[in-house]
């Protein structure tokens, strides 16, 4: 059965994920400041929500950037005949900093691999962490998240998409059958 999450359930998941990230990074005593980098499209609203939650919980502002991975994909030539490419926006120095890559749904690992390649074009972080709202399994590459909101079982022909409501920023999830 395909999972369904109401906006309040997604908000709880984001709060739990933010606490896990803040606690996990705090365990590295003396760790440098960290930043969140959302992977376009679905990871960007999740990263922004996480930054708000961490600021409310910890009282610190966390810089948020975005990476556009379309041109870094290993299947760009075949899978993206007419790509919609947005900008990568990283307004801080990643060198020597812990960076948490954020995505909405982790499946094959190919998006994350592309995001790492893109991020490294901005410099060499001290460490790259991975946070995902949903882990649905199905890896094709040896990539595992450090922080997970929820593990879900989804039929292979179903795609999960998370987006932010344009009016109030509330996260919503849609299920799309292929």
Residues 12 and 55: their CA atoms lie apart, in Å, by 16
86-135: per-residue pLDDT in tens?
789 999 999 999 999 999 999 999 999 999 999 999 999 999 999 999 99
Q: Return the structure tokens found at 52.
A: 């708000």
Mean pLDDT (whole number) for 79-90: 74
Q: What is the pTM of this model?
A: 0.87
Please, what are the domains in the chain? 7-26+35-77+88-177 (3.40.50.2020)
Band (pLDDT 50/70/90 cuts) for residue 1 is very low
Band (pLDDT 50/70/90 cuts) for residue 46 is very high
């Amino acid at each position: 059965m395909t999972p369904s999450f109401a906006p309040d359930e997604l908000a709880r998941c984001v709060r739990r994920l933010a606490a896990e990230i803040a606690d996990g990074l705090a365990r590295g005593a003396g760790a440098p400041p960290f930043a969140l980098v959302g992977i376009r499209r679905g990871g960007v609203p999740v990263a922004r929500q996480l930054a708000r939650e961490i600021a409310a919980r910890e009282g610190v502002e966390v810089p948020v950037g975005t990476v556009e991975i379309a041109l870094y994909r290993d299947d760009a030539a075949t899978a993206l005949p007419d790509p919609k490419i947005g900008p990568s926006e990283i307004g801080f120095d990643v060198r020597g900093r812990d960076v948490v890559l954020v995505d909405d749904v982790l499946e094959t690992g190919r998006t994350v691999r592309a995001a790492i390649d893109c991020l490294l074009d901005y410099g060499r972080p001290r460490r790259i962490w991975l946070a995902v709202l949903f882990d649905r399994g199905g890896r094709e590459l040896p990539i595992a998240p450090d922080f997970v909101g929820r593990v879900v079982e989804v039929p292979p022909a179903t795609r999960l998409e998370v987006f932010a409501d344009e009016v109030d920023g509330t996260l919503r999830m849609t299920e799309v059958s292929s």
